[in-house]
A and B are shown apart, each in its own frame.
Chain A
Amino acid sequence: MFIYHWQLAWRSLKKNPILCGLMVLAIACGVTASMICYTAYHVINTNPLSNKDAILFMLQTDSWHLKEAFSGKASNQMPDLLSYRDVTALMHSHIPLRKTAMTRWGGILSIPNSEAEPYFAKARINTHDYFKMFDVDFLYGSPWNQAADNEVQNLIVLSEDVNNHFFRGENSIGKTILLEGYLYKIQGVLKRDAQPSNKMQNIDTSILMPTEDVYLPFGVLAEREISSWDIIQRPGDLLEYSENSHQNLLKSGNLWLSYWVEFSGPKQKQEYEQFISQYIQNQKALGYYPRSLRFALSNATQKLNINGYSNGKFSMLTKFGVGFLMVCTVNCIALLLAKFLRYAPESAIRRALGASRTAIFVQHFIESSIIGILGAALGLVLTYTGLKYLHYEFSNISAENNFLIGNIADLFVLDAHILLVTVMASIVASLCAGIYPAWRICQASIAQHLKLQ
């Protein structure tokens, strides 16, 4: 019987190809618009490390001044950065399986006497654990040792793109490269796809961060004159606005390092929480940490929420996209109603010949689902084209020297999740559109429509 209904539905649609085409187009337009907006929203909110949500955490401590709570974007009202003093003390704890403190920097990379042009590189300074913690794969070489995190060792890890630029993609392990006047030995080269940085926002900024070009061991901070490229959060009593000198950053209570830990299990996490409480209490005895003892360990998913993306540009856009889809769905309801009522006499004859109300309903409902499937197909094609076009449009704009403009083009990529959502949205929209008209038709009185023959 299902096949029979399906055939009837198909035949009925073919009778009026223009109307059918209009409906498919309407659904496809609505789906495309809302899906393009949703893709951007989805990418910016995706946590590619969600499988590590139970073990990978960012540490926040309430080291702010007493007068008022921290008022940045973080919704738990604690700064999400730590001071150099705190970080070096915390690194002594052997409780976490892995730990890393990080900040971003940048400068001019060059190889003296080489044809490759100097490159204005974005750098990340972190511990050797960073790579394992964030699932970053190496193409050549491996992370540096613990020793390089504790003292200055001039080692560097390059991204695949930088390696291509200077060494044409060959294995460059052991060679040296000049960054901001100092020579570094290349310890490793990262594989391109593995870098999570363009989805893992480091600090509470509202834009995608570009992937780093090079990585330096944490130990360089002790000696190299690095003023952090990230936001420096200054607790109130330290509001000297020109305190950018590196030595000051090492000693003062300015917050500029992000601290992440990985545990082997929940027991370790509990132990660590006790350790942090103890640490803050010790600091209070020394006169630091004026506010009440507070800290938080947030996993990557929670961190995305703290960053407040759910209220951002793309969330707004998605909501309007859904509104657009609703307009198209309502339009479809009207068109379907028009179509079904026009062919009401046929249904009346079928009813007169013994078809039940359910049968009529099912047939018409199937018609609307066919529209949904066709709309899904067209919607997918349009969404894919739209995303590709937007990706192209936004790809041409990343300014090289300005690290604040992230790779917005990365927002517009199709993945399996979006594919599925597109198809589902289209089918659900068309089914919703089809319910009332199908119901209306099967309720119609037979006699009246027969008379109008």
Chain B
Amino acid sequence: MLPIVPIINALMQRKFSVSLLILQIALTTAIFSNLSFVALEFDRRYTRPSDIKDDLLFTVLLRSIDSTINYAEALRDISSLQKIPGIVSSSIFRWSPFSGNASTGALRTHPDENAPALKTAMIDVSIQALTTLELKVVAGRDFRMEDMIVENNTANTGSRKIIVTQVLAKAIFENAQNAIGKSVFDGDTRFEIIGVTCDWMGIGIDSSEPAEHSLFIPHYWDGDPEQRYIIRVNDNHFREAAITETIKQLQHNHQHKVFLYIEKMDELKKQTSIPGHKFSILLKTINVVLGLVVAFAISGQTLFSIQQRTKQIGLRRALGASQRDIIILLLIENTIILVLGLIAGISLAFYANQFVIRMGYPSLPPIYLIITCLSLLVLSLTSTIIPAISAGKISPGVATRTL
């Protein structure tokens, strides 16, 4: 029979110490749940696998020294690169995925500016883009020659065909199949969705929007002195050699009047994901240290309260309580304090969550609170066990020593 009411009465007599402990647990819950949430969000955004074979890909940045790179030259470049043995596919990309650069747009289903918009990242590509990245089309079709738009000074109106990621299609049209043939608007520009790719990491701009909201536009701007090509090899071991051959070929194509910068896609992805990854490690470290501090706090304060109540515990033992009873008593006390602390902590966590929301993250999912509560439960029980065991060893004779 668990004497809950006497335990609670006993706790009420030590209101101050008990409320200190409750406060500590509440603060810890708030901090722990929010920081874990932010840390895991960072992990999700920055260290998730790219879902494309980035160890087979590399990008080439070309900067022409004295002129622009027109479409014909770029096409000639990528077809000459494809003739190199070991290179499977190459295409033109205005920006490279994972580099943190891209165009951004706000997509609406109506041209009306008041309709809700979805922020998305966009890259101008050539029609071989999906082949090079090896992205499967789950609805609609891949790009065709006639989708390509090449522009210089005269602006081209009319709708541009785009291919979006499945996540983006689902976000606007509920499933990938529905998106095919529909139009979306970025300001006054009209896009028609002709294909949906399978899920992958997405272009990955450093923002609070999901990286998976990405789309490709088959478009080439003829006035730039700078372009990028993305090249896929058939085997990772061949990539270094392919890079050397690529440099030779491109210098030859442009009569050595270009500067070339090569980046391997997997290294590029790692580079741009490292700050986020380290930040999340910082947050996790703070959480771990906090956990340790709280563990010490709980065991220290339990030890102290036992010392203060030595006589009472001795009296209980003299009246027939076994060692086990004392331990259970202390564990129950601790659990009651913990539960009160967690209740206060949950409301404090929601209050603290507004700081996180202001940073652009969604609100705290309940799962983090549940995990925090369970971890704190385990933590506090483990911290209490040892002092409880020493309490159980208090001899009944203590009760009779003084009055």
Are A401 and B263 within 8 A (Cβ)? yes
Known: A68-B113, A108-B259, A394-B278. A244 touches B221 (CB 8 A): yes
Are B17 and A180 within 8 A (Cβ)? no
Are B358 and A316 within 8 A (Cβ)? yes
Least CB separation from B28: chain A residue: A327
B66 CB–A CB distance under 8 Å: yes
Q: For the complex, would chain B's binding face be called helix, strand, loop or mixed by DSSP majority?
A: helix
Q: Shortest Cβ distance from A207 into chain B, in angstroms?
A: 8
What is the 8 Å Cβ interface bit string for chain B, positions 181-198, against chain A (1 contact, 0 not)? 000001111000000000
Q: How many A-B contacts are there with CB distance less than 8 Å? A: 145
CA of A181 to CA of B223 in the docked complex: distance in angstroms? 16
CA of A181 to CA of B278 in the docked complex: distance in angstroms? 39
- The count of chain A contact residues (Cβ–Cβ below 8 Å) is 59
Residues of A within 8 A of B155 (CB): 240, 242-243
B356 CB–A CB distance under 8 Å: yes
Least CB separation from A406: chain B residue: B275
Q: Shortest Cβ distance from A310 into chain B, in angstroms?
A: 9
- A180's partner among B65, B151, B263 (CB-CB below 8 A) is B65
Q: Shortest Cβ distance from B278 into chain A, in angstroms?
A: 6
What is the size category of the interface that chain B forms with chain A?
Answer: 35 or more
Residues of A within 8 A of B101 (CB): 402, 404
Least CB separation from A311: chain B residue: B358
Residues of B within 8 A of A290 (CB): none
| Residues 266 to 308 of chain B near chain A (Cβ within 8 Å) | 268, 271-272, 274-275, 278-279, 282-283, 286, 289-290, 293-294, 296-297, 300-301, 304, 307-308
Residues of B within 8 A of A108 (CB): 63, 259
Residues of B within 8 A of A452 (CB): 402
Q: Shortest Cβ distance from B153 into chain A, in angstroms?
A: 7
Which of B30, B105, B296 has its CB near the most chain A CB atoms (within 10 A)? Answer: B296
- B272's partner among A317, A337, A405 (CB-CB below 8 A) is A405
Least CB separation from B283: chain A residue: A317
B238 CB–A CB distance under 8 Å: no
Residues of A within 8 A of B223 (CB): 244-245
| Residues 30 to 61 of chain B near chain A (Cβ within 8 Å) | 30-31, 34-35, 38, 61
Are A319 and B355 within 8 A (Cβ)? yes
Residues of B within 8 A of A394 (CB): 275, 278
Q: Shortest Cβ distance from A406 into chain B, in angstroms?
A: 9
Are A320 and B31 within 8 A (Cβ)? yes
Known: A239-B187, A242-B155, A334-B301. A401 touches B282 (CB 8 A): no
Are B289 and A29 within 8 A (Cβ)? yes
Known: A324-B31, A334-B17, A334-B20. A402 touches B355 (CB 8 A): no
Are A327 and B151 within 8 A (Cβ)? no
Residues of A within 8 A of B79 (CB): none
| Residues 304 to 318 of chain A near chain B (Cβ within 8 Å) | 311-313, 315-317
Are A315 and B300 within 8 A (Cβ)? no
A156 CB–B CB distance under 8 Å: no
CA of A315 to CA of B259 in the docked complex: distance in angstroms? 42
Are A334 and B189 within 8 A (Cβ)? no
Residues of B within 8 A of A243 (CB): 155
B389 CB–A CB distance under 8 Å: no
- B35's partner among A30, A118, A227, A320 (CB-CB below 8 A) is A320
CA of A242 to CA of B149 in the docked complex: distance in angstroms? 12
Residues of A within 8 A of B225 (CB): 180, 225
B100 CB–A CB distance under 8 Å: yes
Are A405 and B100 within 8 A (Cβ)? yes
- A334's partner among B66, B300, B352 (CB-CB below 8 A) is B300
B328 CB–A CB distance under 8 Å: no
Residues of A within 8 A of B124 (CB): 242
Which of A225, A245, A331 has its CB near the most chain B CB atoms (within 10 A)? Answer: A331
Q: Shortest Cβ distance from B336 into chain A, in angstroms?
A: 17
CA of A188 to CA of B307 in the docked complex: distance in angstroms? 74
A408 CB–B CB distance under 8 Å: yes
Are A327 and B294 within 8 A (Cβ)? yes
Q: Shortest Cβ distance from B279 into chain A, in angstroms?
A: 8
Are B355 and A29 within 8 A (Cβ)? no
- B27's partner among A29, A240, A316, A326 (CB-CB below 8 A) is A326
- A313's partner among B16, B103, B151, B359 (CB-CB below 8 A) is B359
A251 CB–B CB distance under 8 Å: no
Least CB separation from B356: chain A residue: A316
| Residues 297 to 343 of chain A near chain B (Cβ within 8 Å) | 311-313, 315-317, 319-321, 323-324, 326-328, 330-331, 333-335, 337-338, 341-342
- B103's partner among A241, A321, A408 (CB-CB below 8 A) is A241
CA of A393 to CA of B24 in the docked complex: distance in angstroms? 31
Are A320 and B63 within 8 A (Cβ)? no
Are A404 and B278 within 8 A (Cβ)? no
Are B359 and A118 within 8 A (Cβ)? no
CA of A428 to CA of B301 in the docked complex: distance in angstroms? 22
Known: A181-B65, A334-B304. A327 touches B221 (CB 8 A): no
CA of A240 to CA of B124 in the docked complex: distance in angstroms? 14
Least CB separation from A316: chain B residue: B355
Residues of A within 8 A of B23 (CB): 330
Are A323 and B30 within 8 A (Cβ)? yes
Are B20 and A402 within 8 A (Cβ)? no
Are B27 and A327 within 8 A (Cβ)? yes
Residues of A within 8 A of B153 (CB): 245
Are B301 and A33 within 8 A (Cβ)? no
Interface residues of chain A, those whose CB is within 8 Å of chain B, are 22, 26, 29-30, 33, 67-68, 107-108, 118, 120, 180-181, 207, 225, 227, 236, 239-245, 311-313, 315-317, 319-321, 323-324, 326-328, 330-331, 333-335, 337-338, 341-342, 390, 393-394, 397, 399, 401-402, 404-405, 408, 436, 452
Interface residues of chain B, those whose CB is within 8 Å of chain A, are 16-17, 20-21, 23-24, 27-28, 30-31, 34-35, 38, 61, 63, 65-66, 99-101, 103, 105, 113, 124, 151, 153, 155, 186-189, 206, 219, 221, 223-225, 259, 261, 263, 268, 271-272, 274-275, 278-279, 282-283, 286, 289-290, 293-294, 296-297, 300-301, 304, 307-308, 352, 355-356, 358-359, 402
21 contacts between A and B (CB under 8 A): A29-B289, A239-B187, A242-B151, A242-B155, A244-B224, A245-B153, A313-B359, A316-B359, A320-B34, A320-B286, A324-B31, A324-B286, A327-B24, A330-B24, A334-B21, A334-B24, A397-B275, A399-B271, A405-B100, A405-B275, A452-B402
Ranked nearest first, the 4 interchain pairs of A and B with the lowest CB-CB distance are A338-B304, A239-B187, A181-B65, A331-B297
Not counting A241-B105, A320-B35, A334-B304, a sample of 7 additional A-B residue pairs whose C-beta atoms are within 8 angstroms of each other reads A29-B289, A320-B31, A324-B31, A330-B20, A342-B307, A397-B274, A402-B100
